[in-house]
């Protein structure tokens, strides 16, 4: 697929079938994460693949809203970035999440970003909750989780009409 076609086709998908993602598909998604650029090439991100239903279920309750569909995902990839390794952990994690989201689209799979950083469950920091679930130290920062699965139905791609050209400015 042309990159621009994948960009139009990319949608956030929250409904998945039970069909498992293959190892080859998962490998491609992880490759895309490892190809993402990082500031000063520090590579602070680690990618934790979660497949166990009980853990996906726990993750789906890690914040007040917008994570429920994780329980129906075939897999989730938790992006864990060490703040000791880079002060741009947030940017680096976001780029890796975006690369994986686009690669999933290219493979015909559904995916959705689940924001964890700056989110809460009943007043508790969602990053703290996810760190407890997956068992990592406090210095691991968690921008988000990518939910992955086979699409229940093909979402409508974006069209040129969706492009808000008023957001583009030229300084003359
Ligand atoms: C930084 C960021 C955080 C997001 N967090 C969530 C989330 O927690 N839950 C969710 O269902 N979707 C989340 N999304 C998906 C957005 O809601 C979605 O990208 C937006 O509505 C546009 O729809 P589209 O992705 O289908 O083009 C997030 C997207 C981004 C870029």
CATH number of the domain enclosing 17: 3.40.109.10
pLDDT band at 1 (very low <50, low <70, confident <90, very high): confident
Give domain status of residue 137, yes or no.
Answer: yes
CA of 12 to the centre of ligand 1 (A): 6
pLDDT in tens, 109-166: 999 999 999 999 999 999 999 999 999 999 999 999 999 999 999 999 999 999 999 9
Give domain status of residue 89, yes or no.
Answer: yes
Give domain status of residue 163, yes or no.
Answer: no
pLDDT at 149: 98
Give domain status of residue 160, yes or no.
Answer: no
Give domain status of residue 172, yes or no.
Answer: no
pLDDT in tens, 14-71: 999 999 999 999 999 999 999 999 999 999 999 999 999 999 999 999 999 999 999 9
Give domain status of residue 113, yes or no.
Answer: yes
State yes or no: pLDDT of 104 exceeds 90. yes
CA of 172 to the centre of ligand 1 (A): 34
Q: What is the tally of structural domains in the chain?
A: 1
Range(s) of the domain holding residue 57: 3-152
Q: Please tell me the number of Cα atoms within 13 Å of 24 on its side-chain side.
A: 1
**With a 6 A CB cut-off, is 112 part of the ligand 1 pocket?**
yes
Q: Which residues contact 41 (CB under 8 A, 6 or more apart)?
A: none
Q: Please tell me the number of Cα atoms within 13 Å of 126 on its side-chain side.
A: 23
Give domain status of residue 67, yes or no.
Answer: yes
Does the pTM surpass 0.95? The reply is: yes
């Amino acid at each position: 697929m042309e990159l621009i076609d994948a960009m139009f086709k990319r949608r956030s998908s929250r409904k998945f079938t039970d069909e498992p993602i293959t190892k080859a598909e998962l490998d491609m998604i992880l490759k895309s994460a490892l190809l993402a650029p990082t500031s000063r090439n520090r590579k602070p991100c680690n990618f934790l693949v979660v497949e166990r239903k009980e853990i996906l279920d726990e993750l789906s309750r890690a914040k007040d809203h917008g994570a429920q569909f994780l329980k129906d995902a075939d897999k989730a990839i938790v992006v864990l970035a060490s703040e000791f390794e880079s002060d741009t952990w947030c940017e680096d994690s976001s780029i890796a999440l975006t690369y994986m989201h686009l690669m999933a689209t290219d493979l015909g799979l559904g995916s959705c970003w689940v924001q964890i950083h700056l989110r809460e469950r009943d007043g508790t920091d969602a990053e703290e909750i996810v760190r407890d679930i997956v068992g990592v130290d406090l210095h691991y920062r968690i921008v988000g989780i990518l939910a992955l699965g086979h699409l229940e139905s093909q979402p409508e791609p974006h069209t040129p009409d969706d492009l808000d050209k008023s957001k583009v400015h030229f300084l003359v």
